[in-house]
A = this chain, B = another copy of it.
Amino acid sequence: MYRNRQDYIIIRQEDYMRLLDEQAIEHIALGASLLGTGGGGDPHIGRLMALNAIRKHGPVKLITPDELPDDALVVPSAMMGAPIVIIEKIPNGNEFITAFKGLEDILGKQVYATIPIEAGGVNSMIPIAVAAQLGIPLVDADGMGRAFPELQMVTYHLDDIPASPMVIVDEKGNSVILKTITNNWAEEIARVCTVTMGASVMISIYSMLGRQVKESGISGIMSFSEQIGRIIAEARKERTNPVNDLLSLTHGYELFKGKITDVSRNIEGGFNRGLCQISGLEHHSGSSMQVSFQNENLMAEKDGKVLATVPDLICILDADTSVPVTTETLKFGRRVVVIGIPCDRRWRTERGIETVGPRYFGYDLEYTPVEQLAGEEEHHGV
């Protein structure tokens, strides 16, 4: 996600929070929902879950991958399913006690820390709640550097770390343990279980050792989310526009500004899929943009020309509040800004593109980096 790794390290050393308090959680929730690119679950629900957990159990210790012992067992915690459903189905908090217990029994080792699998409103927050509830540290890394809709879409998969044993737990008390021969089988079987178990479940997957997190994780994602969140929160307080600061921090591009004129969506096979049409405002007046999504935003086209595709990040912000808009809350009349952010370099390898590139999602299209597509547009544009 960071074109210049150096920038990021400097920022982290300055701003690093060792204990996540309420303020940090507010910022992470806000920032992660930008990196969630429309997916990763509802930021409000996620925020409440994490805040409740630290109010009850105390603040959470955030550690860097480097601080992990090489042989420590690190288990991601996340929600799986159509994120729209979680609004009606808040986890009861016991799901991960069950899930982690199941994995500990199988792996014969105690869980040392949890870690997010992706960035997003709920999936950045669940690991905070789990860490608080179980009294374990949270690792400042994830497997996507953003959100993606399927389980094999993680850097861990690129490094051949198995998704299974995987545990799926619902709020009713049912649990499923998968041991699969490939990560795509884990995705396929888990997806149908999720739909049957109520369209939204808690999962533990890609159990790893400390040394694997160091090698394969996208380091610093929680701190990076926090920085983004702080920029947005402070701009709101000061009634300024944070977009330029966000573009500068993320090396992103403003792709479009406009008013949503149509959203079509359907929940299908456990995913929230759809299309959002936006009619241009201000300097984009007369143009239109179409954003397609599958939980996350997948492709942005302006007047029929592709400006960004997965794995690059396509983020939609409310034009008035600068709050990131999830695909569930896209609605007619909302004024939005669409920005494109370069993805982590690992998604731009051959295997990365194979796993999360436009062709995987059914678009007959070579992947071209957003810097090239949107940079060109800026050059030739208005």
Oligomer copy total: 2
Interface assignment of A192: CB less than 8 Å from any CB of chain B: yes
Interface assignment of A94: CB less than 8 Å from any CB of chain B: no
Instruction: Specify the chain B residue showing the minimal Cβ separation from A169.
Output: B179
Q: Bound state CA distance, A191 and B196, in angstroms?
A: 10
- Interface size range on A against B: 20 to 34
Instruction: Specify the chain B residue showing the minimal Cβ separation from A196.
Output: B192
Please give the distance in Å from A179's CB to the nearest CB on chain B: 5
B residues in contact with A188, CB < 8 Å: 196
* Among A106, A175, A188: residue with most chain B CB under 10 A: A175
Interface assignment of A267: CB less than 8 Å from any CB of chain B: no
Are A189 and B176 closer than 8 Å at their CB atoms?
A: yes
Chain A residues 47-95 with CB under 8 Å of chain B are none
Are A189 and B197 closer than 8 Å at their CB atoms?
A: yes
B residues in contact with A17, CB < 8 Å: none
Please give the distance in Å from A81's CB to the nearest CB on chain B: 14
Chain A residues 176-203 with CB under 8 Å of chain B are 176-181, 185, 188-189, 191-193, 195-197
Please give the distance in Å from A1's CB to the nearest CB on chain B: 33
Specify which of B106, B179, B192, B197 is in contact with A174 (CB 8 Å cutoff).
B179
Interface assignment of A345: CB less than 8 Å from any CB of chain B: no
Q: Interface on A for B, CB 8 Å cutoff?
A: 105-106, 172-181, 185, 188-189, 191-193, 195-197
